[in-house]
Copies of this chain bind each other. A is one copy, B any other.
Amino acid sequence: MTSASAAAAPDRSAEPAASSMPDPGLLQGLQADLMAMPPVAALGLRVLDADDQGLRLSAPLSLNVNDKGCAFGGSLVSLMTLAGWGLVNLRLAQAGVQAEVYVAESQVRYRAPVFADLTASARLAEGEDWSRFLSTLLRRGRARIGVVSGVAADAGTLGCECQSQYAAILKPA
């Protein structure tokens, strides 16, 4: 997440009503960082939007379709994993903290086939706290945080969901 991490802190003075939105530059940096990875470019990933609650990514069904005409499970997991990874990186960038972020474990449930373009949302898991995560990371050099992500099925119901733990390791100053 080089460019998003290196981007300036968000300037929220112009639009007080949109104070929950990260700076557009951070999202553009995230999009560039993600698309620089060949398997992410192959997904056709797009960063949709983000706010204080979470981050949304999308990918076209055409590039991620399986033999049954719906979304391939691996693409669903990829997009959900990236949504969580992107969310943790965004929060670190907003806090001005330089760290590498790794997914450590995930529990995935495929609930219904997804026959539309894929939209993945990620948010903090219940009981987690960004401030505690950041303070642990700064104090110990590493920290873990739980993120929940999901992809809606075409009827608006949940197509699949993913509970993941991400590990962050502080970069040497």
Binding site for B on A (CB under 8 A): 1-2, 33, 36-40, 42-43, 62-68, 72-75, 77-79, 81-82, 85, 100, 102-110, 113
CA distance A17 to B104 in the complex (A): 41
Q: Are A39 and B64 in contact (CB under 8 A)?
A: yes
CA distance A72 to B81 in the complex (A): 10
Q: Are A108 and B105 in contact (CB under 8 A)?
A: yes
CA distance A73 to B10 in the complex (A): 29
Q: Are B74 and A82 in contact (CB under 8 A)?
A: yes
For this complex, 9 residue pairs linking A to B, each with C-beta atoms less than 8 Å apart, are A36-B67, A37-B65, A37-B72, A68-B100, A77-B77, A77-B108, A104-B109, A106-B106, A108-B108
Q: Are A65 and B38 in contact (CB under 8 A)?
A: yes
Copies in the complex: 2
Residues of B within 8 A of A64 (CB): 38-39
Min CB gap A2→B, angstroms: 8
Q: Are A103 and B107 in contact (CB under 8 A)?
A: no
* Contacting residue for A65 out of B39, B72, B75, B100, CB 8 A: B39
* Contacting residue for A78 out of B37, B65, B78, B104, CB 8 A: B78
A74-B78, A74-B79, A107-B107 given; name 11 further pairs at CB < 8 Å: A39-B42, A39-B64, A43-B74, A68-B100, A73-B81, A74-B74, A77-B108, A102-B110, A102-B113, A104-B110, A105-B108
